[in-house]
Amino acid sequence: MPARKATANKTVVSSTDKPQHAFFPYARYTSVVGVHSSLVAFTALFLPQTSHLLWTAESTLADRPQSQFLDALTDSSVLTLAWIVAGLVVLQVWWAGWIRQWCFEYTSRGTSDEIKVDRYRFQRGRFTKLGRAAVFTSCVALLFHVIIILFGAPSASHLPHTFLLAIVLALLSAFVPAYALGFPTFSSDTSSLVTRLTWTRLFAELSPRNPIERALVYPAVGTLLGSWLGAFSIALDWDRPWQAWPLTPLFGGIAGYIVGSLTALFVSALMWLAEENVRMRQSEKQKTT
């Protein structure tokens, strides 16, 4: 019997890795998604309030009065973006660790000793993967910066605002998949080819096949779609403080990310219940025959 080959990229999730009824920790997934979504909302709405706690700033928008809560978000868009980026860096590293762990649990197979060896290799490579995911996310942020300008963002002014928005979008859409799956490269080895095909299927064809892939695809799509929809309010002739660039695309993207995360949870739960119902019927049918 040929020896079992340990794959270099154990975290790539494919529909052929496990049968559809493979184990997935739905209870843990539900609780972590709830905590993560709540913390993302807290980071977006309350972490920027720290600026008003550290120092008192007089609002320059006396002609457009609004609540103190909104003042902390609109007085300085750069500070608001900086606080949100700082919070999301911590949250996304934590969340990506969970997703990567679930990838391993979902794809691991073999004897207990083989799984222990794979787990050791999996744990040993996490810091290297974290650094590579950070580099990839930075490249995606630069790409998003260019795309946002091409979509009509100010090109001669507000460059820090636009780049910080691009960082937020990259953290929400690209960092977790890059850490959990590995990022696509142009290498010709088998592992790189599988990773490229997985990214193509997930983010070009939008065809997730299991709960982990939905947890990666739905929030990323929600982030980009929410940010794009949020930009429409800037064109409205209301002249409100919260319409300053790039607050509405920023909060639209964050709202889209939260909705995408909860949608992935809801869809995965429904599919799991449907599969459980089918298995129960098949079991009852086998008992009667």
The tens digit of pLDDT for each residue in 68-126 reads 888 888 888 999 999 999 999 999 999 999 999 888 887 777 677 767 777 777 778 78
Q: Give the residue-averaged pLDDT of 254-274.
A: 95
Going from the C-alpha of 244 to that of each of 63, 78, 79, 162, 284, the distances in angstroms are 15, 11, 13, 12, 61
- Give me the percent of the chain exceeding a pLDDT of 90: 54
Q: Write down the pLDDT at residue 211.
A: 93
Q: Give the residue-averaged pLDDT of 269-284.
A: 88
Going from the C-alpha of 119 to that of each of 11, 28, 94, 102, 224, the distances in angstroms are 11, 20, 19, 12, 34
Q: Write down the pLDDT at residue 55.
A: 63
pLDDT value at 1 more than 60: no
The angle, 0 to 180 degrees and rounded to 10, between the axes of the packed helices 247-288 and 211-230 is 150
The tens digit of pLDDT for each residue in 226-256 reads 999 999 988 887 778 888 899 999 999 999 9
Q: Write down the pLDDT at residue 6.
A: 41
More confident residue, 6 or 45: 45
The tens digit of pLDDT for each residue in 9-33 reads 444 444 434 444 456 788 899 999 9
Q: Write down the pLDDT at residue 5.
A: 41
Residues 6+ apart with CB under 8 A from 68: 52
Q: How far is it, in rounded angstroms, from Cα 124 to Cα 127? A: 7
The Cα diameter of the chain in Å comes to 80
pLDDT value at 62 more than 70: no
Q: Write down the pLDDT at residue 204.
A: 94
Contact call for residues 51 and 83 (beta carbons, < 8 A) = yes
pTM: 0.86
Q: Write down the pLDDT at residue 8.
A: 41
The tens digit of pLDDT for each residue in 131-190 reads 999 999 999 999 999 999 999 888 888 999 999 999 999 999 999 999 999 999 888 889
Q: Write down the pLDDT at residue 64.
A: 61
| Domain boundaries defined on the chain | 26-53+67-288
Location of structure tokens 């795309």: 147
For residue 247, give the nearest of 84, 88, 137 by alpha carbon. Answer: 84
